[in-house]
Structure 1
Amino acid sequence: MKQLVLPIKDSNILHEVQDTLLNNFKYGRRNYTIFQVGKATLLRVSDVLALRRNDIFNDDGTIRKNAYIRDKKTGKQNTLYLKPVQNSLIAYSQWLKDNSIDSEWLFPSIKNPSRHISEKQFYKIMAKTGDLLGINYLGTHTMRKTGAYRVYIQTNYNIGLVMELLNHSSEAMTLKYLGLDQVSRERMLDQVNFD
């Protein structure tokens, strides 16, 4: 049976997930930063984990304004705006230095730094986080879905922007991806003044 992965819609739960990723694992700073980058860029986990340091950092160690990648699944070019995740990346860069972790990968495997962390390993981290918090809908796609949901809500329901950021071709696909079920639709409709 396929696991149901949903966006984290409640900010308090989001903060608990982020805090758990950061503080309940030996390599928490890496795990937290993976989540933050995925949430801010709306990339699929495979694309987040495949980022290289030189995609994100300039030669002098500063963070690029944009990263340019090709999505693995779609093959489409993708421009990532990095400013929303800049502080997390600065802290992460310092953590890598402090722990003498040297790799071409932005998110290296700790056991084998010549490779990046695997999707399977990151899934285990997300599942463990869900177990610790009693949340049954966390997975590797949580960060992408959460970022998409937050963009949607905080841009006054700009579905076109969310579709573009996700590289989706239909509004229906994006709405389903956002987890906008009947309860969510009713909650939004309750905010509309029909008088």
Structure 2
Amino acid sequence: METLPKDAVHLFASRRGGGHFTTTQVYRSIAKAGDMIGNDSIGTHTMRKTFGYTYYQATKDVATLMEIFNHSSQKMTLRYIGITEESIENSIRNISFY
């Protein structure tokens, strides 16, 4: 596991001791937030995919995103973040049969 710098700020900081949440605690917190808004499909995996989609939209840098996700191909990464489905849907919407 990678060691963070001493001045690193955690996205999910613990109220006790200035440490960070465990992955299980983060999962539970996100799931609880989803429950509070009536959405039971939100989780840590959703955040991972949303990060990927947002990063790609901002940078169009598939190679770096592929490394971040440890994927073996750019096609896999694009499919994972939903770019393939979005591209197909957009191309269908833009077709005119008249």
Q: Deviations over 1:46-80 (max 9, x none)?
A: x6xx865xx251xxxxx5xxxxxxxxxxxxxxxxx
Question: How many residues are matched?
Answer: 93
Query: Which residue of structure 2 aligns with residue 102 of structure 1?
Result: 17
Q: Deviations over 1:140-191 (max 9, x none)?
A: 2222221111111112x33223212323221232123213353x12345479
**TM-score, scaled to structure 2:** 0.64
Gaps of 5+ in 2: none
- Inter-CA distance 189–162: structure 2 relative to 1 (3 Å threshold): farther
Q: Deviations over 1:18-41 (max 9, x none)?
A: xxxxxxxxxxxxxxxxxxxxxxxx
**TM-score, scaled to structure 1:** 0.37
Structure 2 residue matching 1:141: 3-state secondary structure = helix
Structure 1: how far apart are the matches of 2:65 and 2:92?
A: 22
Query: Which residue of structure 1 aligns with residue 79 of structure 2?
Result: 176
Across the aligned residues of Structure 1 and Structure 2, the Cα RMSD in angstroms comes to 3.4
Structure 1: how far apart are the matches of 2:55 and 2:83?
A: 14
Aligned residue runs from structure 1 range 79-94, under 5 A = 89=9
Aligned residue runs from structure 1 range 1-195, under 5 A = 55-57=5-7, 89=9, 101-102=16-17, 105=19, 107=20, 117-155=21-59, 157-180=60-83, 182=85, 184-189=86-91
Q: Percent of counterpart pairs with the same letter?
A: 31
More strand by share: 1
Gaps of 5+ in 1: 1-46, 58-62, 64-88, 108-116
Q: Please tell me the residue identity of whatever aligns with 1:186.
A: I
Q: Which has the higher contact order (CA 8 A, sep 6+)?
A: 1
